[in-house]
Amino acid sequence: MSNVLEVKNIEKYYGNKSNLTKAIAGISFNVEKGEFVGIMGASGSGKTTLLNCISTIDRVTAGKIIINNQDITKLKGNKLNKFRREELGFIFQDFNLLDTLTAYENIALALTIQKVNPHEIDKRVKEVAKKLEIEDILNKYPYQISGGQKQRVASSRAIITNPKIVLADEPTGALDSKSARQLLESFENLNKKLGATILMVTHDAFTASYADRIIFIKDGKIFNELVKGNDTRKQFFEKIIEVQTLLGGDLNDVI
């Protein structure tokens, strides 16, 4: 399988000479087409910075990020915007739905700003709504629907453009456990049935257990990597917890 995302030895520094913070200190990994990858780490580990760099919101200090054979660290200005619009899909923790627009319009907006033919838009919105089972709430406003529904609307918006990779930042962070489970099931659905490539950042072990592979980050470096392989989710979850315990701190830290 071909690599959709190649992260090659990237570094990201903040601050100036006298006070340098290394948010990312050399990370490399690949994501294959159709993969569902989770990134885990405690707060301050650099996972959000990593996601921001991949999603072109932030720039790396060194290294290369190649998405679909294109080095995005070299893109600038409008090309960057175009790339983000057409090749990436985003799902945010706080949904980021426009409260003035209906669910239908929120999903359609992702296509209209790409100047897609209006007749095609209608067809595609209905198609994706069917897959995520939100057809009956399409004409409702965000304040009229539940958190889980909101996140599914946001997911629909993220995948309707057929992005090369979907980037999800703590997608279950604002959801109760039932809604979170529903959302993650629909992620699985997207990944398995529609072949969407998903890169998800989370600190929650349960959420992470839905992924195929998990990359653990600590202090700006890759700390560990877990592959689900043929494990059941329960087994995988237990493995995650184990790593997390390790991640929590070395014995040396506790004196």
Partner 1 sequence: MLFKLSIKNMKKSFKDYAIYFLTLVLGVAIFYMFNSLDSQQAMLDISASTRNIIKLMIQMLNFVSVFISVILGLLIVYANNFLINRRKREFGIYMTLGMGKRQISKIILFETILVGLLSLVAGLIIGIFASQFMSILVAKLFEADMTEFVFVFSKDACIKTCIYFAIMYLAVMIFNTITISRYKLINLLTAIKKNEKVKIKNPILSILIFLIAVGILAYCYWKVTGGVQTLSTADKMLPIILLGIISTILIFWSLSGFILKVVQMRKSLYLKGTNMFVLRQINNKINTTVISMSVICLMLFMTISVLSSSLSLRKTMQEDLKEMTPVDLNLYKTANLPEKSVNAYGREIQYTELQREDSRKLVSETLKEYGFDMNNLKDVVEIPIYAINDVTMQVSLGEYFDEAKAQYSMLSYDSVETIIKISDYNKIARLYGLPEYELENDEYIMLCDFDSMKPLRDNALKLGTKLTILGKEYKPKYDESKEGYILMSTSHTNTGIVLVPDSCPLTEEYKEQYFLAANYNAETEEKIEEIEKNFVDEDSSLVNAMEKDGILLDGFTKIAIREASVGIATIVVFIAIYLGIVFLIASAAILALKQLTESSDNKQRYIILRKIGCDEKMINGALFRQIFIFFMLPLALAIIHSIFGIQFAISVMSGLASSEQLLPSVIATVIIIGVVYGLYFLSTYVGSKNIIKEEE
Tell me if 160 contacts partner 1 by CB under 8 A: no
# chain residues binding partner 1, by CB under 8 A: 30
What tokens appear for 232 in the block? 């059941």
Cβ contacts of 93 within 8 Å, gap of 6 or more:
169, 170, 171, 173, 174
Tell me if 115 contacts partner 1 by CB under 8 A: yes
Tell me if 31 contacts partner 1 by CB under 8 A: no
Tell me if 109 contacts partner 1 by CB under 8 A: yes
Considering only 110, 128, 184, 214, the residue that binds partner 1 (CB under 8 A) is 110
Tell me if 234 contacts partner 1 by CB under 8 A: no
- CB of residue 117 to partner 1, shortest distance in Å: 9
Tell me if 112 contacts partner 1 by CB under 8 A: yes
Distance CA 149, CA 137 (A): 8
State which residue, 32 or 105, has the beta carbon closest to partner 1. Answer: 105
What tokens appear for 181 in the block? 């489970």
DSSP assignment of 191-237: HHHS---EEEEES-HHHHTTSSEEEEEETTEEEEEEE-TT--HHHHH
State which residue, 110 or 199, has the beta carbon closest to partner 1. Answer: 110
Considering only 90, 187, 216, 236, the residue that binds partner 1 (CB under 8 A) is 90
What tokens appear for 101 in the block? 């627009």
- CB of residue 78 to partner 1, shortest distance in Å: 6
- CB of residue 129 to partner 1, shortest distance in Å: 15
Considering only 121, 128, 137, 215, the residue that binds partner 1 (CB under 8 A) is 121
Q: Is 46 helix (H, G, I), strand (E, B) or coil?
A: coil
- The rounded Cα 6 to chain-centroid distance in angstroms is 15
State which residue, 97 or 129, has the beta carbon closest to partner 1. Answer: 97
Stretch that binds partner 1, among 45-53, 89-97, 192-200, 214-222 (CB under 8 A): 89-97
- CB of residue 138 to partner 1, shortest distance in Å: 14
What tokens appear for 168 in the block? 């999800």
With beta carbons less than 8 A apart as the criterion, state whether 54 and 68 touch: no
Stretch that binds partner 1, among 44-52, 109-117, 172-180, 215-223 (CB under 8 A): 109-117
Closest C-alpha to 38, from 225, 218, 190: 225
Distance CA 39, CA 145 (A): 29
State which residue, 124 or 228, has the beta carbon closest to partner 1. Answer: 124
Helical ranges in the chain per DSSP H = 47-54, 77-87, 103-112, 118-131, 147-159, 177-193, 205-208, 233-247
State which residue, 57 or 62, has the beta carbon closest to partner 1. Answer: 57
Could you list the residues that contact partner 1 (CB under 8 A)?
78, 81-82, 84-86, 88, 90, 92, 96-101, 105, 108-113, 115, 118-119, 121-122, 141, 143, 157
